[in-house]
Amino acid sequence: MKAIVKHHAGYGARLETVDIPEINESEVLIKVKATSICGTDVHIYTWDEWSQSRVKTPYVFGHEFSGVVEKVGSAVTNVSVGDHVSAETHIVCHSCPQCLKGQFHICKNTKIIGVDTHGCFAEYVAMPSENIWKNDPKMPFEHGSIQEPMGNAVHT
């Protein structure tokens, strides 16, 4: 598949061909239909001080997206192939003290797609099914891709 890859520790990114992600039993594979560019993506692209201390290259970046479920893992029950979806981009560990108390929003081991894992600036992205929410199929994909930043603003 084609993907935008942060290919080196420096300014820029490039379009590359990479493998379609494999999924495990609790993940879904999503055909990406729209993405949004976040300030985080700009930090990564320009390779500022923050990204230099956080990002491990090479990898696919981007974390705001919407798309269509292409494949589901054997344990997935909340979404089905063909569903229109977006995602909560913070992947939590479920094992730190905060997660064990149900305080997932302050998980000490949170990973963010497109920062700590491969992201959505690609034709496909793999995500834990628990991070997926269904969108109304009538919603334009472009609107679905900005739900994550909209949620940040609402909850702030």
- Give me the catalytic one of 35, 40, 89, 117: 40
pLDDT (tens digit per residue) in 117-155: 999 999 999 999 999 999 999 999 999 999 887 777 776
- Give me the catalytic one of 43, 57, 90, 143: 43
* CA contacts within 13 A on the Cβ side of 61: 26
143 is known as an active-site residue: no
Q: Does domain 2-155 have CATH number 3.90.180.10?
A: yes
pTM metric for this prediction: 0.93
- Residue 144 phi/psi, 5° resolution? -60, -30
> Domain boundaries in the chain?
2-155
Predicted local distance difference test score (pLDDT) of residue 107: 95
pLDDT (tens digit per residue) in 6-51: 999 999 999 999 999 999 999 999 999 999 999 999 999 999 999 9
8 is known as an active-site residue: no
- Residue 22 phi/psi, 5° resolution? -90, 150
The answer to whether 89 and 145 are in contact (CB under 8 A) is: no
